[in-house]
Structure 1
Amino acid sequence: MPMLQGSFIFFMLVFLLIGFSSVLVRRKESTDYLLAGRNLPPSLAGLSAVATNNSGYMFIGVIGYTYSSGMAAIWLMIGWIVGDFLISLVVHRRLRRATGSFDSLTYPTLLGNWFGQNQVGVRVVTALIAVVFLGIYAAAQFSAGSKALNVLFGWQQWLGVVMGATMVLFYCFSGGLRASVWTDAAQSSVMLLGMGLMVWITVSEQGGVQPSWEALNAVSATYMNWFPTDLAFGGLGPLLFVIGWLFAGIGVIGQPQIMVRFMSLDSEHSMRRARYYYYGWFTAFYSLAMLVGLMSRLLLPDIADFDVQQDTELALPVMAAELLPGILAGLVLAGLFAATISTADSLILTCSAAISRDLLPKRWHSYATTRVATLVMIVLALLIALYSNETVFWLVLHAWSGLGAAFAPLLIVYTLGRCPPQWLTISMVVTGPAVVLLYQLLDPRLVGTVYEILPGMLAGGLAYALGSFVVRLRHGKAALRAAQNADRR
């Protein structure tokens, strides 16, 4: 244990120094703090985006879900990556172009000014939605890191949460987004190596691939089924299950903390190269995480020192501590903790940007105000993490679905060349999250079959279709075009 703790502390200091080194190129201005000067190379943008996409959700949430659900978890990976890739072909390049055309520093500003229309109401509403859901998301990252420290070192979970919040403050104040991006790139490389090592060791423990496969099939009669056995809608259940996770991938364009990486890219022409880094790493890491989740089901029942059955989200840290030499286990755990913290850093920065640039009066738009807003958001996320009883997996999924349902339909409408009038845009971004929240009150079997982002995004699209129809019905097509043109001006 001393070797493990010493290794963890050493590598955490290394990650901290990487983030802090960004102070050497920092410029004390909002563009640098919020968008890293809009000069990220495609390699850093791609690796940072995918690290932010995964982080605590992948290391803690997905592995725990796979431990419990078995092979059916593969559809989370397939749906998420395929949906993400397909929508990126339509949206990402246009998003970077719109960012540069109208000098948008925040995601809400981008949505309210895509065509230069300056919809102040849209900026305020989208900023409020972003702050609420991203605050929950950041709390999930603090919880993920504190869980690992609690089970391995016996540290109280509140201590891990406070430690994470302190590190986020350190990252944010040292280099803003650039500090987060540099740390993301370092920890993503470490974690890909660490997860590959975990898979190799766990399969070797079972005697190879074939014995591992046979042992997994022996866990239970349903553990290696391709779909959950309790889906609603009979024969349509599996199809709806897959479509729901496909929409989860599409919902990535509604995640400000990820899209800000592509907004910060040095040029829209670098988008294809950034995509290679992003999807290559994403596919490799998600595959390894799922394999670790499956293998943990075979190995953890034999580990007597930890009662992981009480919380399957502890599978990765427990296995790392038990199976790896102390120095390597410390490296993996430091990478895991750094991943959650750098993602929380991104989320906090996005929230503070929304507060300081979109919710406060223009006379308060300054570098100093953004840093004060950062401190406020860290405290709020810390309180949510300390007092929430939700798992990391569900905290992230609720936040993800709320953001995706709010913003993804609007971005799709924008990329199709449509500019809704302000009242209709606000209706869209409010309707999606409202349906997501109401959906949680339905039958648990229904909620478990169709991921909540699907009805939320469809509701946002339906709000646009109905609103456009009402305008045409009352005033004709010319009036709708006039309203769109007026907003563009």
Structure 2
Amino acid sequence: MSVSNPTLITFVIYIAAMVLIGLMAYRSTNNLSDYILGGRSLGSVVTALSAGASDMSGWLLMGLPGAIYMSGLSESWIAIGLIVGAYLNWLFVAGRLRVQTEHNGDALTLPDYFSSRFEDKSGLLRIISAVVILVFFTIYCASGIVAGARLFESTFGMSYETALWAGAAATIAYTFVGGFLAVSWTDTVQATLMIFALILTPIIVLLATGGIDTTFLAIEAKNPDNFNMLKNTSFIGIISLMGWGLGYFGQPHILARFMAADSVKSIAKARRISMTWMILCLGGTVAVGFFGIAYFSAHPEVAGPVNENHERVFIELAKLLFNPWIAGVLLSAILAAVMSTLSCQLLVCSSALTEDFYKTFLRKNASQVELVWVGRAMVFLVALIAIAMAANPNNRVLGLVSYAWAGFGAAFGPVVLISVIWKHMTRNGALAGILVGAVTVIVWKHFELLGLYEIIPGFIFASLAIYFVSKMGAPTASMVERFDAAEKDYNLNK
């Protein structure tokens, strides 16, 4: 542990700073709206960076670099798909959703929005969407805990079981205490740390391998196909990787950032900041995995941990190439990526349980203080379930993320997108979209049909279900009136 002492001290300082931010946010949290959406007070910079950081979880510094290290540039189609999907989400959904949620009962959660937007008196739409959130987000939370455990395991030589708890504890602490404001403020710090790590690390790896020409020659010598974007791919393979971009329209933890923006006017500036950050981060991620091929082929004596688990490529490069104090800062970036996404997911699960089950069905007249404390208890409960799911040391981060991402993208993506651009969508159309999307993902994943990523058929079938079922009925006059008022408000203020 002596070698790791500087890294350990850096981690402790970083975690202490995050918990301190949580305590500061605690003082600004007075009611459930503050706890779940920060009182809709986020400016453009915090909206942009917290949306980015909550999106880019541990897979950004572990899963994706590992995939590039193993397969070369052919895995970068994921990054291209994500950039396109994120931009379209900012362009078509962000501003409209911010306005629509305000016009539809000042909705705090997606189930709340769906219920108000489609005047669902039965509560069925709220229940089904909240259940989808809990099922897929618990899997997503497990992926974050696995990533955190891998980090602590490889950095401090802990057992996997101990690392699970160590990795999750700090995130649970500041989310539990500070709610949405803590999550958003810490996300901004974490996004800054992540971009610093992903710009600096590839540069140092390049210098360590002798510059661009030498590095590229070494990568080519290892396998010329590493440069081939079409290596071991097919049309279906490329479409599957690009299809990750469809997931953005349905991710509750990202959509919550749009809902929490202080105004529609903030969205355009936030979009520019967020997309710049995202492109730089994904470029750095691809470079880390790609240049890592050259480094470890030149230094096979230290390649053991990466050959054993390719998702450790960033971790090992940071430990090998940097002073332990700098390595501590860089490895904190992985912790930042894990914590930023895990905290958002815990909070969304908590808000679904508190707002959409507890308040709606059990305690309609519960006080704001009671609801905030129930929300905190739910953070703890979901975290414990996710830790139990993450207990298998053979879990892979990217595999868990891809399933949860597809589940949300197909179940909620078409419903959210169509609900903010088409006034004739109905409650039954929304129900059909959520059910068809979720079921398609589960069935497609189970049978692995055509080798196609399950989000694509899920998104297509859900969209068709929404359209055809909505055509069988008609929205009420008040639904159309609210939609038109929100769209007018959006166009006046965008």
Q: Is this a same-fold pair by TM over 0.5?
A: yes
Mapped contact 1:127–1:355 kept (Cα < 8 A) = yes
1:205 counterpart residue number: 208
Q: 2:291 aligns with which of 295, 310, 325?
A: 295
User: 1:422 is matched by which residue type in structure 2?
Assistant: R
1:382 aligns with 2:378: no
1:138 counterpart residue number: 141
Deviation track 1:227-279 (CA, whole Å, cap 9, x = no partner) reads 23253xxxxx1xx4444344322321200011101111001121101111110
TM-score by length of 2: 0.90
Mapped contact 1:98–1:115 kept (Cα < 8 A) = no
Which runs of structure 2 are paired with 1:440-451 in the superposition (5 Å)? 440-442=445-447, 446-447=450-451, 450-451=452-453
Q: How far off its partner does 1:221 sit?
A: 3.5
2:57 counterpart residue number: 55
User: 2:254 is matched by which residue type in structure 1?
Assistant: I
Q: How far off its partner does 1:487 sit?
A: 6.6
2:270 counterpart residue number: 274
Q: How far off its partner does 1:362 sit?
A: 5.3
Percentage of pairs with the same residue? 28
Unaligned runs of 5+ in 1: 232-236, 472-479
1:368 aligns with 2:365: no
Cα distance 1:270–1:414, how it changes in 2: closer, same or farther (>3 A)? same
Q: How far off its partner does 1:419 sit?
A: 4.5
Query: Which moves more between the two structures, 242-251 or 264-273?
Result: 242-251
User: 2:356 is matched by which residue type in structure 1?
Assistant: D
2:454 counterpart residue number: 452
User: 1:223 is matched by which residue type in structure 2?
Assistant: N
Query: Which moves more between the two structures, 247-256 or 290-299?
Result: 247-256
Unaligned runs of 5+ in 2: 483-494
Mapped contact 1:300–1:315 kept (Cα < 8 A) = no
User: 1:413 is matched by which residue type in structure 2?
Assistant: I
Which runs of structure 2 are paired with 1:289-368 in the superposition (5 Å)? 289-301=285-297, 302=299, 304-305=301-302, 306-360=304-358, 361=361, 363=363, 366-368=371-373
Q: How far off its partner does 1:456 sit?
A: 0.8
TM-score by length of 1: 0.90
Query: Which moves more between the two structures, 97-106 or 107-116?
Result: 107-116
User: 1:312 is matched by which residue type in structure 2?
Assistant: H
Q: Secondary structure at the match of 1:15?
A: helix
Q: How far off its partner does 1:389 sit?
A: 3.6
Mapped contact 2:438–2:458 kept (Cα < 8 A) = yes
1:129 aligns with 2:132: yes
Which runs of structure 2 are paired with 1:76-475 in the superposition (5 Å)? 76-101=78-103, 102-114=105-117, 120-231=123-234, 237=235, 240-301=236-297, 302=299, 304-305=301-302, 306-360=304-358, 361=361, 363=363, 366-387=371-392, 389-442=394-447, 446-447=450-451, 450-468=452-470, 471=472
Mapped contact 2:118–2:427 kept (Cα < 8 A) = no
Cα distance 1:441–1:370, how it changes in 2: closer, same or farther (>3 A)? closer
Q: Secondary structure at the match of 1:434?
A: helix
The 2-side partners of 1:230 and 1:266 are apart by 44
The 1-side partners of 2:204 and 2:439 are apart by 45
Q: How far off its partner does 1:114 sit?
A: 2.5
User: 1:385 is matched by which residue type in structure 2?
Assistant: A
Q: 2:21 aligns with which of 18, 40, 61?
A: 18
Aligned length: 468
Deviation track 1:42-95 (CA, whole Å, cap 9, x = no partner) reads 100100110111120201111111111111122111111112212321111110
Cα distance 1:304–1:111, how it changes in 2: closer, same or farther (>3 A)? farther
The 2-side partners of 1:19 and 1:300 are apart by 40
Query: Which moves more between the two structures, 361-370 or 264-273?
Result: 361-370
User: 1:275 is matched by which residue type in structure 2?
Assistant: R
Deviation track 1:4-47 (CA, whole Å, cap 9, x = no partner) reads 323332333233333333234x2231011000111001100100
Mapped contact 1:320–1:332 kept (Cα < 8 A) = yes
Deviation track 1:142-186 (CA, whole Å, cap 9, x = no partner) reads 110110111121111222221233222211232101111111111
Q: How far off its partner does 1:437 sit?
A: 1.8
RMSD: 2.1
Deviation track 1:452-484 (CA, whole Å, cap 9, x = no partner) reads 211110010121233245x2xxxxxxxx22x55
The 2-side partners of 1:142 and 1:296 are apart by 25
